Amino acid sequence: MSDSPEATLSIAGATRAARAMLEAGRYREAEAEIRRALHIDPECVSSWVLLGTILAHTMRQEAALDAYERALRLNPAQIHVLLAKGHVLQTLGRRAQCEAAYKECIALNKDFGEAYYSLADLKNYRFADAEIAAMENLLREAAAEQAVAQLHFALGRAREQRGRYEEAFDQYTLGNALQRRLAVFDAGAFERKCRRVAELFDAAFFAARAGVGTPDPAPIFIVGMPRSGATLVEQVLASHSAVEGTMELPNLPGLVRELEGLDGGTDGYPECVAGMSAEQFNRLGARYIDETRIFRARSHFFIDKMPDNFSHVGLIQLILPNAKIIDVRRHPLDTCFSAFKQYFAEGHSFTNDLEDLGRYYRSYVGLMDHWDTALPGRVLQVRYEDLVRDTESEVRRLLAHCGLEFEEACLRFYETKRAVRTASSEQVRVPMYDSSIGYWRLFEPQLEPLRRSLSLGLERFVKAPEPPR
């Protein structure tokens, strides 16, 4: 490495540029910039960390792991890098190493609440009594609201594992209350937006624009609510030889954010779509295909599992008319409670309040009903309960919708080796199980506010009989 001022400035400039490009989603350019910095100084710890972050964002988990390990060899005391290494190991399914990394974080700093929650987020990790006591002590000492919230969620999981359901719910409620203070969800604004989307994208709107968009059939969109079973559906499909699983891709929401600002404001979508030309629709579709290439490598088809894309089915139809769309449903009380007890770092503020959750779920189902009317047959609905109870029939139906031949590997999805970047990563690596069906009944009294918020009648959402009590 050169110690010259010019080299130092060059590294600093490349690092700033890489960070800016990463935040903008320009991953190829971000990687090129940080590799330029590493060429100048291959022992720069922060450059290896940033490279690892870029690689993890683009689903190159093995390479990300290598970058984080290079950074840790240079400076082993970087607790956040060690935590990031644990997250990558989790996506790769290396459970023992993942746990070891999280526990090493706690050994480095017993007050590091995020490591405790990361253990809880493994879902089937069982806390020892000593770990629970440590979390309770830390809860009394922690100052940062986010750290306190993470500890409440982790303690909720620990209480739940021991059958202390009222105490568990109290912990989840406290954690969500803190999260709600950090990011308030405007349920009314979301409902109004959904109504505007439905009013614009009607059957006549699509009929007048038939034939527009990029015809590439590669994308398979899985939409719905978080914690609905979408990762299971993704894992089944990604076990097919022609399909590649990626993650919750940011590309389509990014396009929508750009459309929001087309009129110079911040809320121009969906109305701005009415004035777009066929060429504009074609360009947007081609751009989506091009920008998602960095997340995929080999297969004819790839999965985009961003659940919020249920709002954008109309836009998908216009820019990618041959893409497949799958809506994954699960009993609304199971779905919403599972989301309520999940700590989300960002992007899901509607999960922090039971009433907001119910209103969001109602808007989601209402919009999906609209798509079934405006675009009949366009979206396949898959019910989690049906997939669990009649797996082969549902897998065959799922594959047929995607135009794929049946493959036995899709029934052995739990054997598929791939990176899974969601909270369900551990759950899809085991054979099908039904213990999550009707789980909400263990918390039935506490979920009465959610039941009231759903208010339209659960029978509207649940077409099959509920499991017996």
Spatial contact of 172 and 341, defined as CB atoms under 8 Å apart: yes
Whether residue 288 is predicted with pLDDT greater than 80 in this model: the reply is: yes
Whether residue 467 is predicted with pLDDT greater than 50 in this model: the reply is: no
380-402 confidence digits (pLDDT tens) = 999 999 999 999 999 999 999 99
Mean pLDDT lowest for which of 16-25, 191-200, 414-423?
Answer: 414-423
Confidence of residue 464 (pLDDT cuts 50, 70, 90): very low
3-state secondary structure of 438: coil
Determine if residue 403 is left, alpha or beta; phi over 0 gives left, psi from -120 to 50 gives alpha, anything else beta: left
Q: Please, what sign has the CA dihedral across residues 354, 360, 361, 366?
A: positive
The pTM for the full model equals 0.89
Q: Provide the mean pLDDT of the chain.
A: 90
So what's the pLDDT on residue 419? 63
The first and second tokens of residue 225, run together, are: 């609510």
Confidence of residue 469 (pLDDT cuts 50, 70, 90): very low
248-282 confidence digits (pLDDT tens) = 999 999 999 999 988 777 899 999 999 999 999 99
Helix or strand holding residue 208 (H, E): none
What percent of the chain is modeled with pLDDT above 70?
A: 92
83-111 confidence digits (pLDDT tens) = 999 999 998 989 999 999 999 999 998 88
> What are the φ/ψ torsions at residue 303 (nearest 5 degrees)?
-105, 135
Strand order in the sheet with 379-383: 243-247, 301-304, 219-224, 324-329, 379-383
3-state secondary structure of 214: coil
Whether residue 67 is predicted with pLDDT greater than 60 in this model: the reply is: yes
CA separation for the pair 446, 164 (Å, rounded): 13
By C-alpha distance, which of 122, 119, 96 is closest to 426? 122
So what's the pLDDT on residue 416? 82
Whether residue 299 is predicted with pLDDT greater than 80 in this model: the reply is: no
Helix or strand holding residue 334 (H, E): helix 332-340
CA separation for the pair 238, 418 (Å, rounded): 9
317-365 confidence digits (pLDDT tens) = 999 999 999 999 999 999 999 999 999 988 899 999 999 999 999 999 9
Count H helices, E strands: the chain?
Answer: 21, 5
> What domains can be seen in the chain, in order of their start residue?
1-109 (1.25.40.10), 189-330+364-441 (3.40.50.300)
User: Mean pLDDT across the stretch 301-326?
Assistant: 97
Cα–Cα distances in angstroms (integers) from residue 465 to residues 61, 109, 164, 364, 468, in the given order: 41, 49, 28, 21, 9
User: Mean pLDDT across the stretch 298-312?
Assistant: 92
Residue bearing tokens 């009380």: 333
Confidence of residue 429 (pLDDT cuts 50, 70, 90): low
So what's the pLDDT on residue 263? 73
| CB atoms near residue 274 (< 10 Å) | 11
9-27 confidence digits (pLDDT tens) = 577 888 889 999 998 888 9
